[in-house]
């Protein structure tokens, strides 16, 4: 039985312009402020949330609050970090340490399809979230509401920037 393996890839297709790198970096770090905003809630710091919300939150054990709110952070920050792969070498060539595929070229659709679907979903979620993110605040539009808006506003940029960087990746990989 003969097994044929692709030779290891070297280099990337084309250089990445600065605007695409910057857009990918902003997209990758867009969810970080909202993740940081949620951390004090784990320990019962109200962050301006109303009493009913905090009573419901604190009715759960610490480990569950940590798992839920920390998990939300990981589920947003982790995929956002992958945006950088669209402008870095590891988005075109699998890192050598990865079993079975290390050193080989990334098939473009393996990056494009998840990035495109993720960009659409995150854009829709960002727009929807923007309309309700202060709904659990007490006292109207106060300092806490302004801080929360500042921490969550970058999420609105994540989806459109991911779609922009994905379109550039498609062009750079020669598929468009």
pLDDT for 146-162, tens place per residue? 888 889 899 999 999 99
Instruction: Give the number of domains in the chain.
Output: 1
Structural domain of 63: 18-172
Phi, psi of 60 (to 5 degrees): -95, 150
4 pLDDT tier (thresholds 50, 70, 90): very low
Give domain status of residue 1, yes or no: no
Please check whether residue 95 lies inside any domain of the structure.
yes
Residue 25 lies in a domain: yes
| pLDDT tens digits along 132-150 | 776 666 666 678 888 888 8
Task: Report yes or no: 20 and 87 within 8 Å, Cβ to Cβ.
Answer: yes
Chain position carrying tokens 């991911």: 162
Residue 7 falls inside a structural domain: no
6-10, 17-21, 87-91, 132-136: which range is least confident on average? 6-10
**Residue 13: inside a domain:** no
- Within 8 A by CB and 6+ apart from 124, the residues are 159
Percent of the chain with pLDDT over 70: 88
Q: State the pLDDT at residue 50.
A: 81
Tens of pLDDT, residue by residue over 21-74, are: 999 999 999 999 999 999 999 998 888 888 888 899 899 999 999 999 999 999
**pTM for this model (two decimals):** 0.83
Among 128, 175, 176, 135, which residue's Cα sits nearest to residue 155? 128
């Amino acid at each position: 039985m003969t097994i044929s393996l692709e030779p290891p890839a070297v280099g990337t297709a084309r250089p990445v312009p600065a605007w695409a790198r910057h857009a990918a970096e902003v997209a990758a770090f867009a969810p970080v402020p909202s993740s940081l905003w949620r951390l004090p809630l784990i320990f019962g710091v109200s962050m301006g949330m109303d009493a009913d919300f905090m009573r419901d939150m604190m009715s759960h054990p610490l480990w569950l609050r940590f798992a839920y709110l920390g998990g939300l952070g990981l589920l947003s920050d982790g995929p956002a970090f992958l945006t950088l792969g669209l402008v870095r070498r590891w988005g075109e060539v699998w890192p050598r340490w990865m079993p079975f595929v290390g050193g080989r070229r990334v098939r473009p659709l393996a990056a494009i399809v998840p990035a495109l679907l993720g960009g659409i979903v995150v854009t829709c979620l960002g727009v929807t979230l923007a309309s309700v993110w202060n709904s659990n605040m007490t006292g109207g539009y106060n300092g806490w509401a302004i801080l929360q808006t500042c921490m969550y506003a970058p999420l609105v940029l994540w989806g459109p920037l991911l779609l922009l960087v994905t379109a550039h990746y498609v062009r750079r990989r020669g598929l468009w």
